[in-house]
């Protein structure tokens, strides 16, 4: 069975600090996809990134960067120079390539990030 | 439409009543998903549609829950004889195809069972 763990339930930082959100996953499949979504107070989940299990190259998009390490089953997300607008709940999710539920997403419990001015 | 649309945005009902939640996916998206998010928790998968078919209904929490999709478009999630434990945000997502494509989410329906 697949499982995603986000050990940090809540993080509070001051604006301009860097912050890393941890994500650890479990899967028996060799082919899978990892995602990060942002859920602002409005409630709608916003897609941030998708990685497949064969691509361990780290990715940077503006102030966001992701570190995928298969050896530790982790897919951590770093926000550099955080801003108040980054305040939201962030979810890590896993999708196995072969399952009966159309690649449904298994979500972690989420990390609430609060960025204070 | 531009995004996934869900209605109503909020629903308050009395215990024992039936409710219907609606999802309009992004036009052309063949796959549609329902998830439930209890307060302060992550999302749990309920059911998935490929076209109008739901190959796997095992995620539905009880036989009071059912869902259908018509015209490879609109989907309705029905909860019969609602219980207080059904209170949650119900989120719908759609994607182009079931394989590896990104799921785009609606804003959800917040259901409160009194």
CA distance A11 to A55: 28
Task: Count CA atoms within 13 Å of residue A52 on its CB side.
Answer: 10
More confident residue, A17 or A1: A17
Confidence of residue A101 (pLDDT cuts 50, 70, 90): low
Average pLDDT of A59-85?
A: 94
Q: Are the CB atoms for A104 and B45 separated by under 8 Å?
A: yes
Task: Give residue-wise pLDDT tens across range B62-75.
Answer: 999 999 999 889 99
Q: Are the CB atoms for B77 and B90 separated by under 8 Å?
A: yes
Residue B100 tokens read as: 């590896």
pLDDT at A102 over 70: no
Residue A25 tokens read as: 């996953």
Q: Are the CB atoms for B107 and A42 separated by under 8 Å?
A: yes
* Average pLDDT score over chain B: 92
Give me the pLDDT at residue B73, please.
92
Give me the pLDDT at residue B42, please.
87
Helix (H, G, I), strand (E, B) or coil at A3: strand
Task: Give residue-wise pLDDT tens across range A20-58.
Answer: 999 999 999 888 999 999 999 888 899 999 998 988 888
More confident residue, B8 or B2: B8
Residues of chain A found within 8 Å of residue B110, distances taken between Cβ atoms: 43
Nearest-Cα distance to chain A for B102, in Å, is 8
Average pLDDT of A80-95?
A: 96
Confidence of residue B40 (pLDDT cuts 50, 70, 90): confident
More confident residue, A75 or A52: A75
CB contact under 8 A, B89 and A43: yes
Closest Cα in chain B to A38: B105
A positions 75-114 inside 8 Å of B (CB)? 91, 93, 95, 97, 100-110
pLDDT at B99 over 80: no
CA B79 to chain centre: 10
């Amino acid at each position: 069975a697949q499982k995603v763990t986000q050990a940090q339930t809540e993080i509070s930082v001051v604006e301009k600090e860097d912050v890393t959100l941890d994500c650890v996953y479990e899967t028996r499949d060799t082919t899978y996809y990892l995602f990060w979504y942002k859920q602002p107070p409005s409630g709608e989940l916003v897609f941030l990134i998708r990685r497949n299990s064969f691509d361990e190259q780290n990715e940077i998009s503006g102030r966001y960067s992701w570190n995928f390490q298969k050896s530790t089953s982790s897919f951590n997300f770093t926000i550099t120079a955080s801003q108040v607008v980054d305040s939201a709940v962030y979810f890590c999710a896993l999708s196995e390539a072969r399952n009966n539920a159309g690649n449904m997403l298994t979500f972690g419990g989420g990390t609430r990030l609060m960025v204070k001015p | 439409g531009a995004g996934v649309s869900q209605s109503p945005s909020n629903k308050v009902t009395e215990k024992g009543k039936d409710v219907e939640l609606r999802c309009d996916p992004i036009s052309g998206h063949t796959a549609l998903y329902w998830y439930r998010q209890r307060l302060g928790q992550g999302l749990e998968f309920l059911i998935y549609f490929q076209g109008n078919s739901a190959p796997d209904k095992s995620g539905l929490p009880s036989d009071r829950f059912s869902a259908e999709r018509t015209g490879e478009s609109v989907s309705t999630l029905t909860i019969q004889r609602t219980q207080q434990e059904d209170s949650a945000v119900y989120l719908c997502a759609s994607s182009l195809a079931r394989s590896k494509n990104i799921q785009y989410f609606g804003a959800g329906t917040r259901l409160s069972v009194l």
